[in-house]
Amino acid sequence: MKAGKMIAVEAEPYPFEFTPAVCALLIIDMQRDFLEPGGFGEMLGNDVSKLRRTIEPNQKLLAVWRAKKLPVLHTREGHRPDLGCLPPAKKIRGRSLATIGDPGPMGRILVRGEAGHDIIPELYPVFGEAVIDKPGKGAFYATDLHAILMNRGIKQLIVTGVTTEVCVNTTVREANDRGYDCLVPEDCVGSYFSDLHEAGLKMIKAQGGIFGWVSHSKHILKVLN
């Protein structure tokens, strides 16, 4: 593989042509609060074990991106300890007893600096990989992600992480409107709800790839190895 040469990956609705040197792996919110018991995901009434199948394929993709010295970025959804960036509507949404900012088994829920807010150990960032702290569902809203990508000449994104229909979908839509090509490997994204996962993928690839492409990590690994 030559990082500057365009290669094609099997994908829907048609092959995704990408140039590895300008294609970042963007891993969305693989945080303990979403993937481990006692966090925000479980607080919303979800079964967190449903997301854990995404860990291994993400590890494999991440290992290849690192080995080939291609750009990797991670995001974390969460808020300042003073909750200044937490909209009151988001704080009370769900009407649960404990909400964002309250104490939980892994520290204050979805608060930056707390154990639950951090990325799971299996996919922990290494030096040189940008970590974007985002207050919203989309990774571009109120962050410097777009500036970082432009400064590094990145034009294409492989978007993975959780959850398919919430933060992954929102980020892909935001990226698409800013001119990025996005490929979503279906085994590397997950949802607490299988029907919403399927719908989230369909929404991306429908209408000729209205927001982007959907593939499987095995097809990406095949062309990169």
Using CB under 6 A, list all residues that contact ligand TIU: 29, 34, 44, 77, 137, 162-163, 166-167
Catalytic pick among 33, 133, 134, 182: 134
Task: Give the residue among 199, 161, 192, 169 at the shortest CA–CA distance from 43.
Answer: 192
Amino acid at 196: L
**Is the CA virtual torsion 30, 36, 41, 46 positive or negative?**
positive
Q: Tokens 């962050």 appear where?
A: 143
Active-site residue, from 29, 33, 118, 133: 29
167 catalytic per annotation: yes
Residue closer to ligand TIU, measured from CB, 51 or 70: 51
CB of 38 to ligand TIU, least distance (A): 15
Cβ contact 112:69 at 8 Å: no
Cβ closest to ligand TIU, residue 54 vs residue 156 = 54
Q: Is 188 an active-site residue?
A: no
Strands (E), the chain: 7-9, 16-18, 23-28, 72-77, 103-104, 107-108, 130-134, 156-162, 181-185, 189-190, 213-215
Task: Provide, rounded to whole angstroms, the least separation between the CB of residue 199 and ligand TIU.
Answer: 13
Q: Are 1 and 222 in contact (CB under 8 A)?
A: no
Closer by beta carbon to ligand TIU, 46 or else 176: 46
Tell me if residue 29 is catalytic: yes
In the bound state with ligand TIU, the residue whose beta carbon lies nearer, of 75 and 215, is 75
- Output the smallest distance, CB 166 to ligand TIU, in A: 3
Q: How far is the CB of 8 from ligand TIU (least distance, A)?
A: 30
The position carrying tokens 């979805």 is: 110
Residue 162, CA atoms < 13 Å, CB-side half-sphere:
29
Which candidate in 23, 167, 182, 188 is catalytic? 167
Which run of H or E residues covers position 89? helix 88-92
Residues tagged active-site: 29, 134, 167
